[in-house]
A and B are shown apart, each in its own frame.
Chain A
Amino acid sequence: MEKSTGNSAELQIVAFHLGLTEYALPIDNVQEIIRLQTITRVPRAPLWVEGVINLRGTVVTVGNLHKRFSLPLIQVTEDSRIIIVKLAETNAGILVDDASDVIRISQGAVESSPDITGNIDKEYITGVVKIDNRILILLEPQKLLATGG
């Protein structure tokens, strides 16, 4: 993998689906992508928390962005994945419908274009990326998995 830092003009993002919409996270914030495994429900946890998983002996919280963004819930499938996101204090997973690919974009391709992001709270969003005929919503990982909500 090439270094994405060092060249400020370039940015690598991991693209994934929630329903029909495509989202993305900066690759620097993604530790790994794993297959779905048994998630233990945590009573009294915030609503958007799906539960906890065992990631090689560490207990990791998994969030459900459908719930966080108030999107219609979707059945988990063979394609469902958990993206383990690196945060300042801890690691946490997010449940996604699939993780399609890693895309190299130029920094300038990120536009602040909030009008097409629907009812998602704007603080979760860094910007919008348009490449070819795809539109990806670039998410802000720290905010995305902050407590509350």
Chain B
Amino acid sequence: MNMSQYLEMFLVEAKEHLQNLNDKVLALENNPDDKAIIDEIFRSAHTLKGMSATMGFDKVAELTHQMENVLHKVRAGERQVSSPLVDIFFKCLDTLDILISNIGDGGEGNLETSSLVTALQAAQEGHDRPLEATGISEGSKIDTGIPPEPVMSIEFNEYEKNIIRQSSEQGFFPWHLTVEIRPTCVMKSARAFMVFKNLEALGEVIKTNPSIEDIEDERFDPGFEIVLITKSLREEIIKAVNSIAEVDLPGIFSINIDNPPIPQEVKEKAKPANPQPAKTSPKEGVGGVAKHVPTIRVDIERLDLLINLVGELVINKTRLARIGHNKRLPDLNETIEQMDRISLDLQNLVMKVRMVPIEQVFNRFPRMVRDLARDMGKEVELIIEGKETELDRTVIDEIGDPLVHLLRNCLDHGVETKEQREVQGKPAQAKVRLAAKHEGNSVVIEVEDDGKGINTEVLMQKALEKGVITSAQAEAMEQEEVVNLIFAPGLSTAEKVTDISGRGVGLDAVRSKIESLSGSIFIETEKDRGTKFKINLPLTLAIIRALLVQVNQEAYAIPLGFIDETTIITPQDIRNVHEQEVILLRGNVLPLVRLHKPVGLSVPDYQPGQELFVVVVRKNNRQVGLVVDELIGQQEIVIKNLGHLLGGIPGLAGATILGDGRVSLILDITTLF
């Protein structure tokens, strides 16, 4: 049977299930006993298994099947959810993601998954075996740099179990030790030898991981596990190990072979340095099943076509209205009013259909923040607000990358390490807030942290060093302007370049992206209190409100997003400062640009007493007054592409068709002058 026609559907649904699984596993990490979450994970994994088995993607099916088995035990209360188990789940999800992407790229979805399958099988038996290399670089990368959690990965054979049982009866108790040799240590095997020597004075080492031979050959990093049988007390063991220099003992607990416990201290240590999505998602009651609203899937291109047609309708309606107005036909006007209402409803409806909750973008962040925080050894709680806020798909598609950048920035530069935070008297767990909400005709997205804030002195120093500003400019700068230097190209304040950010493609890229979406970005920062980025975005990029202006009989549209206000002046109001025309607007100096110039028209002389219209626009957070001949008025415009031949002209964001059928160009203020 040819399944290719179902492939597209499979991929879409598989991705959805993966996202759901990611969310739910995150939630599970924070609420390990929540039955509803476990059930949801089970259902998703089960569905995914069924789908992939039907499609013949055996690896996906096998992996999900093993996950399902473990989950089954968890559901039945036969085993508990532990931190290593959650890690195994996450790695499974990462691997599934790679497998499914591979299928999407035309592959068979055949990757090495055996180590994961083994880990899952072990987990079914109740052993949390920390994953060794999974063979999938992306999956295993997450753990680098973090000391492995002190969890027993040792399995005993019957013979060993017997020894332990027998010795227990004689008052010798088994202990599980995790020993780590510091990376700076030169003779690691010598230290390891000393560890064994000291321990053997207390009792008998019956098993190690890795094997004794490997330890002697220094094949361990950064440490190894030991099972010791001794009569000594916990403190004596700790003392014996700690008496050796350059050796740490991050974990010690007694072993109960017949009922492998999850040691209390490990549980505490493994307290997640990660977000708590519980706060972000509405609590689902026990047994609460997500509501199913009947929906259909529609090809996005069809929606684009629909909005184009609605755009046509709007344009032609405006033309009809003009005719009715010019020819003074009252009957026609009445009909047009009706049509106006209907087309407006239609337009709103189509826009709504294209609206998607920003959840789509936000969803991937809890996981990303969790992983990043772990990589950096920071504790971060990500608080997400307003993920149900709806935005047009055109904006959704574009906003992901800038937000990733801002969040990475927050975690890397904003949030301090645990130690630094404790010195500051702050809670060890930092808070990063990601919030979206509607404000009038736009959407506001805020990314806020309670970290160290932006050090304006360092920032200014860097800007001077890199030649972004001159020292004369630096002196004249106000605090607010200095903070905005962070958006200057070629400036990165990270003291060292890390994998996460500080690669020179800094916040200037974020700002230009947001401005290209007709949005704006502001920053507020306070030393040691945190930083807040505030992004304003239009709801849609397909139909926008714009002000039509006229210069030399040519009409141009300026998106309202750029405009702060309009005002009327006379030539007498204009002053010249350093060859630059300015006016005083409520006490502030406003530089003027005559629109004729950037659009390539000759600039006419001022007539005495002439009324000049000034459109105050914002460019890079600075106000500029655009002088135009006339203001035509505000209206909704449908943005049309300028096409292949005229793409990428600076200053132009596209074109629109006016009510009289003429084409008018839409100005892009950020690149106009």
Interface residues of A (CB under 8 A from B): 37-38, 40-45, 49, 51-54, 57-61, 63, 87, 89-90, 92, 145, 147
Q: Please measure, in the bound complex, the distance between the C-alpha atom of A44 and the C-alpha atom of B598, giving whole angstroms.
A: 9
Q: List 21 A-B contacts (CB under 8 A).
A: A37-B661, A38-B661, A38-B663, A40-B662, A42-B646, A42-B649, A43-B601, A43-B651, A43-B665, A49-B646, A52-B643, A57-B312, A59-B641, A59-B643, A61-B645, A63-B645, A87-B644, A89-B644, A90-B643, A145-B645, A147-B645
Whether B657 sits at the interface, judged by CB under 8 Å, is yes
Q: A61-B643, A145-B645 are in contact. Are A42 and B662 (CB under 8 A)?
A: no
CB nearest to A42 among chain B residues: B646
Q: Please measure, in the bound complex, the distance between the C-alpha atom of A90 and the C-alpha atom of B641, giving whole angstroms.
A: 11
- The 10 A-B pairs at the shortest CB distance, nearest first, are namely A43-B600, A90-B644, A40-B663, A43-B599, A61-B645, A57-B312, A59-B640, A89-B644, A59-B655, A54-B657
Q: Report yes or no: A54 in contact with B663, Cβ–Cβ below 8 A.
A: yes
1/0 per position for B537-579, CB-CB distance to A under 8 A?
0000000000000000010000000000000000000000000
**18 more A-B residue pairs beyond the given contacts A37-B661, A44-B651, with a C-beta to C-beta distance below 8 A:** A38-B661, A38-B663, A40-B662, A40-B665, A42-B652, A43-B598, A43-B599, A43-B601, A44-B650, A52-B646, A54-B661, A57-B308, A57-B312, A61-B642, A63-B645, A89-B644, A90-B644, A92-B645
Q: How far is the CB of A31 from chain B (nearest CB, A)?
A: 14
Whether B409 sits at the interface, judged by CB under 8 Å, is no
Whether B20 sits at the interface, judged by CB under 8 Å, is no
CB nearest to A88 among chain B residues: B644
Q: Please measure, in the bound complex, the distance between the C-alpha atom of A61 and the C-alpha atom of B646, giving whole angstroms.
A: 8
Whether B315 sits at the interface, judged by CB under 8 Å, is yes
Interface SS majority for chain B = mixed
Chain A residues positioned under 8 Å from B649 (CB to CB): 42-45
Q: How far is the CB of A25 from chain B (nearest CB, A)?
A: 17
B642: contacting residue among A53, A54, A59, A63, CB under 8 A: A59
Chain B residues positioned under 8 Å from A53 (CB to CB): 663
Q: Please measure, in the bound complex, the distance between the C-alpha atom of A119 and the C-alpha atom of B315, giving whole angstroms.
A: 43
Q: Report yes or no: A52 in contact with B651, Cβ–Cβ below 8 A.
A: no
Q: Report yes or no: B651 in contact with A49, Cβ–Cβ below 8 A.
A: no
Residues 147-183 of B at the A interface (beta carbon under 8 Å)? none
Q: A40-B554, A40-B655, A43-B600 are in contact. Are A59 and B663 (CB under 8 A)?
A: yes
Q: Please measure, in the bound complex, the distance between the C-alpha atom of A21 and the C-alpha atom of B482, giving whole angstroms.
A: 63
CB nearest to A58 among chain B residues: B640
Chain A residues positioned under 8 Å from B643 (CB to CB): 52, 59-61, 90, 92
Q: How far is the CB of A107 from chain B (nearest CB, A)?
A: 30
Q: Please measure, in the bound complex, the distance between the C-alpha atom of A61 and the C-alpha atom of B644, giving whole angstroms.
A: 9
Q: How far is the CB of A46 from chain B (nearest CB, A)?
A: 8
Q: How far is the CB of B593 from chain A (nearest CB, A)?
A: 14
Q: A44-B650, A44-B652, A54-B657 are in contact. Are A90 and B645 (CB under 8 A)?
A: yes
Q: Please measure, in the bound complex, the distance between the C-alpha atom of A54 and the C-alpha atom of B316, giving whole angstroms.
A: 12
Q: Report yes or no: B315 in contact with A57, Cβ–Cβ below 8 A.
A: yes
Select the residue from B643, B646, B650, B651 with max chain A CB neighbours within 10 A. Answer: B646
CB nearest to B554 among chain A residues: A41
Q: Report yes or no: A52 in contact with B644, Cβ–Cβ below 8 A.
A: no
Q: Please measure, in the bound complex, the distance between the C-alpha atom of A53 and the C-alpha atom of B642, giving whole angstroms.
A: 10
CB nearest to B657 among chain A residues: A54
Select the residue from A59, A87, A89, A145 with max chain B CB neighbours within 10 A. Answer: A59
Whether B453 sits at the interface, judged by CB under 8 Å, is no
CB nearest to B662 among chain A residues: A38
Chain B residues positioned under 8 Å from A59 (CB to CB): 640-643, 655, 657, 663
CB nearest to B640 among chain A residues: A59
Q: Report yes or no: B554 in contact with A52, Cβ–Cβ below 8 A.
A: no
Whether B311 sits at the interface, judged by CB under 8 Å, is yes
Whether B664 sits at the interface, judged by CB under 8 Å, is yes
Chain A residues positioned under 8 Å from B312 (CB to CB): 57
Q: Please measure, in the bound complex, the distance between the C-alpha atom of A87 and the C-alpha atom of B644, giving whole angstroms.
A: 10
Q: Report yes or no: B662 in contact with A44, Cβ–Cβ below 8 A.
A: no
Q: A57-B311, A58-B640, A59-B657 are in contact. Are A49 and B645 (CB under 8 A)?
A: yes
Chain A residues positioned under 8 Å from B315 (CB to CB): 57
CB nearest to A87 among chain B residues: B644
CB nearest to A40 among chain B residues: B663
Q: Report yes or no: A42 in contact with B665, Cβ–Cβ below 8 A.
A: yes
Chain B residues positioned under 8 Å from A42 (CB to CB): 642, 646, 649, 652, 665
Chain A residues positioned under 8 Å from B646 (CB to CB): 42, 45, 49, 52, 61
Chain A residues positioned under 8 Å from B641 (CB to CB): 59
Q: How far is the CB of B56 from chain A (nearest CB, A)?
A: 39
Q: Please measure, in the bound complex, the distance between the C-alpha atom of A37 and the C-alpha atom of B315, giving whole angstroms.
A: 17
CB nearest to B658 among chain A residues: A54
Q: Please measure, in the bound complex, the distance between the C-alpha atom of A57 and the C-alpha atom of B650, giving whole angstroms.
A: 24
Q: A41-B554, A43-B600, A59-B642 are in contact. Are A52 and B663 (CB under 8 A)?
A: yes
CB nearest to B654 among chain A residues: A59
1/0 per position for B633-673, CB-CB distance to A under 8 A?
00000001111111001111001010001111100000000
Q: How far is the CB of A104 from chain B (nearest CB, A)?
A: 31
Q: How far is the CB of B425 from chain A (nearest CB, A)?
A: 56
Chain B residues positioned under 8 Å from A37 (CB to CB): 661
Q: How far is the CB of A42 from chain B (nearest CB, A)?
A: 6
Chain B residues positioned under 8 Å from A40 (CB to CB): 554, 655, 662-665
Q: Please measure, in the bound complex, the distance between the C-alpha atom of A59 and the C-alpha atom of B647, giving whole angstroms.
A: 12
CB nearest to A38 among chain B residues: B662
Chain A residues positioned under 8 Å from B662 (CB to CB): 38, 40, 54
CB nearest to A145 among chain B residues: B645
Q: Please measure, in the bound complex, the distance between the C-alpha atom of A59 and the C-alpha atom of B315, giving whole angstroms.
A: 13
Chain A residues positioned under 8 Å from B600 (CB to CB): 43-44
Q: Please measure, in the bound complex, the distance between the C-alpha atom of A147 and the C-alpha atom of B315, giving whole angstroms.
A: 30
Residues 263-318 of B at the A interface (beta carbon under 8 Å)? 308, 311-312, 315
Chain B residues positioned under 8 Å from A61 (CB to CB): 642-643, 645-646
Chain B residues positioned under 8 Å from A147 (CB to CB): 644-645
Q: Please measure, in the bound complex, the distance between the C-alpha atom of A1 and the C-alpha atom of B312, giving whole angstroms.
A: 31
Q: How far is the CB of A142 from chain B (nearest CB, A)?
A: 12
Q: How far is the CB of A127 from chain B (nearest CB, A)?
A: 25
